[in-house]
Amino acid sequence: MRRKAENRQCGAPTNCWTLTEAPREPILTPSARISAAIEILDDIFARRRPAADALKDWGLAHRFAGSGDRAAIASFVYDGLRRRASAAYLMGTETGRAVIIGMLRLQRGLAEPTIAGLFDGGRFAPAPLTDDERKRLIEGNLTEAPPEIAGDAPAFVLPSLAAAFGDDLMEELRALGRRAPLDIRINTLKQSREEAAAALNDLGAEPTPLSPLGLRIPIGEDGRGPALHVDPLFLEGGFEIQDEGSQLASLLASARAGETVVDLCAGGGGKSLALASLTGNGVRLIATDADPRRLAPIHERLRRSGAEVEVRTPRTGKARADVLADLDGTVDRVLIDAPCTGTGTWRRNPDAKWRLRPGSLANRTGEQAEVLDRAARLVRPGGTIVYVTCSVLPEENDAAVDGLLTRSGGAIASVATDLTAVPGLSDKVRRTQRGVQMSPALTGTDGFYVATMTRIL
* Whether residue 235 sits in one domain with residue 124: no
Residue 6 counted as domain residue: no
What is the per-residue pLDDT for 13?
38
Number of domains in the chain: 3
From its phi and psi, is residue 327 left (phi > 0), alpha (psi between -120 and 50) or beta?
A: alpha
Active site residue 10: no
Per-residue model confidence as pLDDT tens digits over 441-454: 999 999 999 999 99
Nearest to 422 by CA among 214, 211, 271: 211
Amino acid code (one letter) for 182:
L
Does 291 share its domain with 375?
A: yes
Of 219, 241, 263, which marks where a domain is finished? Answer: 241
**Amino acid 221: pLDDT:** 78
Per the CB < 8 A criterion, the answer to whether 362 and 311 are in contact is no
What is the structure's pLDDT at 20? Answer: 38
pLDDT in tens, 33-88: 999 999 999 999 999 999 999 999 999 999 999 888 999 999 999 999 999 999 99
Q: Is residue 348 part of a domain?
A: yes
pLDDT at 25: 58
Please give the angle made by the CA atoms of 283, 378 and 253, to the nearest 5 degrees.
45
Collapsed DSSP state (helix, strand, coil) of residue 382: strand
What does the CA dihedral 112, 113, 118, 122 come to, rounded to 10 degrees?
A: 130
* 323 and 187 within one domain: no
CATH classification at residue 198: 3.30.70.1170
Q: What is the DSSP string of 93-106?
A: S-SHHHHHHHHHHH
Same domain? For 278 and 366 the reply is yes
Asked if residues 91 and 136 have their Cβ atoms less than 8 Å apart, the reply is yes
- Whether 188 and 303 map to the same domain: the answer is no
Q: Is 354 found in the same domain as 268?
A: yes
Contact 368, 338 (CB under 8 A): yes
Residue closest to 392 by CA, chosen among 159, 207, 220: 159
Q: What is the pLDDT of residue 453?
A: 98
337 is in an annotated binding site: yes
Q: What is the CATH number of the domain that holds 259?
A: 3.40.50.150
| Paired sense of beta strands 239-241 and 182-186, if any | antiparallel
Domain presence at residue 166:
no
**Exposed, middle or buried by CB within 10 Å (0-12, 13-18, 19+), for 329?**
exposed
CA distance 128 to 257: 65
Give the pairing type, strands 379-389 and 412-415: unpaired
Q: 229 and 290: one domain?
A: no
In a domain, 232, yes or no: yes
Q: Do 235 and 263 sit in the same domain of this protein?
A: no
269 assigned to some structural domain = yes
Range of the domain at 358: 252-455
Gap between the Cα atoms of 188 and 102, Å rounded: 45
Q: How far is CA 34 from CA 52, 75, 97, 119, in A?
A: 17, 10, 9, 9
Same domain assignment for residues 277 and 351: yes
Residue 285 counted as domain residue: yes
What confidence score (pLDDT) does residue 237 get?
97
Question: What's the predicted TM-score (pTM) here?
Answer: 0.92
Examine residue 17 and state whether it is found in any structural domain, yes or no. no
Verify that 203 and 71 share a domain, yes or no: no
24, part of any domain? no
What's the confidence (pLDDT) of residue 315? 87
Contact 275, 283 (CB under 8 A): yes
Low-confidence ranges of the chain (pLDDT < 50): 1-23
Quick one: 441 and 296 in the same domain? yes
Same domain assignment for residues 275 and 346: yes
According to the model, what pLDDT value does residue 305 have? Answer: 97
